[in-house]
Amino acid sequence: MNPKISLAIGILCISFSPIFVKLAGVPPLPATFYRILIAWLCLLPYVIAKQKLKIGFNELMIAIAGGVVFGVDLAIWNVSLMTISATISTLLGNLAPVWVGLFSYLLFRKKAGALFWMGTLLAVAGMVVLVGFRDVLALKFSNGVLLAILSSVLYAVYILMTKGILQKMDTLTFMFYNMLGASICMLLVCLFNHDRMSGYAASGWMYIIAMGLVCQLTGWITINNALRHLESTKVSIALLSQTVFAGILATILLNERLGLNEIIGSVIVLAGIALTFLRPKKSNKIVI
């Protein structure tokens, strides 16, 4: 598939994720478990048939540990969707690149350029507008906002944990073990939390299956395919359009409406995140 078309399909698929979660009417933790499990079960016969199960021990541990972090991250984001709008939750969840840059600097002393810090400050300013200046000064944040931000931090941890592994192994092999770890983790969390795992309405199961097939399986396979052929920076910036699509879908399907401060704040945050991806052009001047 053309990588640009693959990327467009992937973005559209994952944009439906917050919509399906809200429409399903299913507890967020079981919804997370079934979403990942369904995608994993669909991938199982393929990796067996194509003999893609072989993996080194270190890579296996990273893939499974990454899956645990991904599962918890997705679960927390799903919980946040229960209390705030799909658009705001998706937007805050996309703050991960900012945290990746900050963690890389603090933990690994990896230098970040001026554009990154400008983008970070712009994204923080956008969050202040989004949440409300007075609430920020009083440190009053809704649980949904805090959970969405925590989700973005966990996704940044996931990126840092797994960023080098795809260069060493097949994408589908990684996804198989990654989703296996996430599924087992979420099953244990659901059992510990005594969540209701069955007895949902037919429409609820329909949206859960859609989450697994459309958002998890198709969405991330097509995005990973695009990453193999396109510059990661361009893909990362393009993925920000997920927030726009999710907002449009939420307006049409969920009848959600954003206030003026939320719209302005969202635009500022998106601009800030996009700026963190940019790199200054290298000078081509010839010194004589």
- pLDDT of 106 > 60? The answer is yes
Compute the mean pLDDT over every residue in the chain, rounded to the nearest whole number: 83
Q: Are 148 and 93 in contact (CB under 8 A)?
A: yes
- pLDDT of 286 > 50? The answer is no
Name which residue leads in pLDDT, 99 or 259. 99
Using pLDDT thresholds of 50, 70 and 90, give the confidence band for residue 232. low
- pLDDT of 148 > 70? The answer is yes
Name which residue leads in pLDDT, 107 or 17. 17
Look up residue 121 and give its amino acid.
L
pLDDT (0 to 100) of residue 211: 94
With both helix axes pointing from N to C terminus, report the angle between 17-24 and 28-49 in degrees, rounded to the nearest 10: 120
Q: Are 87 and 244 in contact (CB under 8 A)?
A: no
- pLDDT of 176 > 70? The answer is yes
pLDDT (0 to 100) of residue 133: 59
Distance of CA 285 to the CA centre of its chain: 40
- pLDDT of 140 > 60? The answer is yes
pLDDT (0 to 100) of residue 192: 93
Q: Which residues contact 197 (CB under 8 A, 6 or more apart)?
A: 30, 33, 190
**Model's pTM, two decimal places?**
0.84
d(Cα 260, Cα 10) in Å, to the nearest integer?
29
Using pLDDT thresholds of 50, 70 and 90, give the confidence band for residue 281. low
Q: Are 189 and 50 in contact (CB under 8 A)?
A: no
d(Cα 222, Cα 225) in Å, to the nearest integer?
5
pLDDT (0 to 100) of residue 284: 47
pLDDT (0 to 100) of residue 193: 92
Of the CA atoms within 13 Å of residue 237, those in its CB half-sphere come to 13
Q: Are 246 and 15 in contact (CB under 8 A)?
A: yes
Name which residue leads in pLDDT, 38 or 121. 38
| Residue found by looking up tokens 């016969």 in the block | 45
Tell me the pLDDT tens digit for each residue of 189-227.
999 999 999 889 999 999 999 999 999 999 888 887 777
- pLDDT of 144 > 80? The answer is yes
Shortest CA distance to 239 belongs to which of 95, 71, 60? 95
Rounded to whole angstroms, the maximal C-alpha distance in the chain is 76
Q: Are 131 and 69 in contact (CB under 8 A)?
A: no
- pLDDT of 283 > 60? The answer is no
